Amino acid sequence: MSELHDKKIEYLEVTANRIRELIIDTLLEAGSGHSAGPLGMADIFTALYFHVLNHNPKKPQWLDRDRVVLSNGHICPVQYVTLALAGYFPVEELKTLRKLNTRLQGHPHRGALPGVETTSGPLGSGLSQAIGMALAAKLDKKKYRIYCIASDGEHDEGNFWEAVMFAGKNKLNNLTLIVDRNNIQIDGYTEDIMPLEPFREKYEAFRWNVLTIDGHNIRDFVDAINEAKAIYEKPTVVIAHTIPGKGVSFMEGDYVWHGKPPNKEEAKKALSELRTLGRRIESEHQ
C-alpha cells in the first residue's frame, strides 16, 4: 500500500464524488435499483480499489490478489461503478445496469463480470463465503487478504452470526469485515425493526477485534485497515458509520431511498449537488 499523502487524499475524495455522480447516472438509465447504500459506501469502495487492495484489473484472476466479497449485493451499483473506473470493464457498459442480457445484474453474479468474486442476493451469506476464502488462503499459506462488505440490516439473519462465531473461533486474522452501519433497511430504521445495539460488544464477545470509524473519512478507514493487518490473533470488523444517500441532500438519512432510483428531475438535482460538492473538494485542497 502506497503512502497516503494529502495529494492522494484529494484524488480519492474527488474519485469518490465522481463515483457518486456515475451511480446517479447509472440508476437513472436503469430505472430501478438502490440509491442510498451505494452513495453511502462510495468513499470506502474508492479507498479499497484505488489505495488499499493488492489487485490487477488487467489480470482479474491473479491468484495472489486480495478478494472483496460483497455480501449486501443490492448496493452493487457502487461496486460496478468502482470496478469500471478502476479498469475492469468499460465505463460505457454501466448504461446496461439491470437490462436484458447485461453483465451488470441487479445483484452481482460470479463469472459474469471481471472483479466480482461471489454471487450475492440473499442477505447474510457473504461472510460465510469470505470465511471459506480466508481458510483457503491459510491452508495454501498465501498472503492475500479477504475483505467482506456487509450491511447492518443483514445482521438480522441468524446465519450471519454463525459465521461471526466461526471466524472468531478460528482466529481468521486475514479476514476484515466492513459493516456499513447506516442504520437503515428497506422497511425502516434498524433500531426500530430489530435493534442491533450494543453492536460493538457483540463482536467483542465473539472474539473479534473491533474498530469504529466515520465511513466518509478516507484517512480513518485506511488507518483502520492498517491496524487490522497488524492484528495476528483474531479477525477484525470495521464498523463504518455512514450516511445513506451521502452527498444528495434529499436522500441523506431517508430509508425510503434504500431501494428506490431517482427519476429524471431528482437525478438532475442530485447531480447538481454532487458537482457543487466536487468543486468544493477541489477548492479545499488548493
pLDDT tens by residue, 247-269: 999 999 999 999 999 999 999 99
Element holding 164 (H helix, E strand): helix 158-169
Whether the per-residue pLDDT at 236 is higher than 90: the answer is yes
Tens of pLDDT, residues 168-201: 999 999 999 999 999 999 999 999 999 999 999 9
Give residue 112's pLDDT: 94
Q: Which of 215, 214, 126, 109 is nearest to 177 (CA)?
A: 126
Q: What is the DSSP letter of 257?
A: G
Cα–Cα distance measured from residue 62 to residue 219, given in angstroms and rounded to the nearest whole number: 28
Q: pLDDT digits over 65-102, tens only?
A: 999 999 999 999 999 999 999 999 999 999 999 999 99
Report the C-alpha gap between 258 and 152 in whole angstroms.
13
Predicted local distance difference test score (pLDDT) of residue 122: 87
pLDDT > 80? residue 1: no
| pTM strictly above 0.95 | yes
Residue 50 confidence (pLDDT): 98
Mutual angle of helices 158-169 and 126-139, in 10-degree steps: 20
Any idea what the Cα angle at residue 106 is, between residues 104 and 110, rounded to 5°?
Answer: 60
HSE toward the beta carbon, residue 74, CA cutoff 13 A: 21
Alpha carbon separation from 228 to 5, 84, 144, 216 (Å, rounded)? 20, 27, 13, 18
Residue 2 is predicted with a pLDDT of 74
Confidence of residue 221 (pLDDT cuts 50, 70, 90): very high
Q: Residue 207: pLDDT above 90? A: yes
- Structural domain spans, the chain: 6-284
Q: What is the mean pLDDT of the chain?
A: 97
36 by Cβ neighbours in 10 Å (0-12 / 13-18 / 19+) ranks as buried
6-284: CATH topology is Rossmann fold (3.40.50)
Distances (CA, A) of 192 to 186, 189, 197, 255: 12, 5, 11, 12
Question: What pLDDT band is residue 285 in, cutting at 50, 70 and 90?
Answer: confident
Q: Distance between CA 51 and CA 4 in Å, rounded?
A: 8
Q: H or E stretch including 11?
A: helix 6-30
Is it the case that residue 286 has pLDDT exceeding 80?
A: no
pLDDT per position as a tens digit, 10-60: 999 999 999 999 999 999 999 999 999 999 999 999 999 999 999 999 999
**pLDDT confidence of residue 77:** 98
184-185 and 188-189 beta bridge pairing: antiparallel
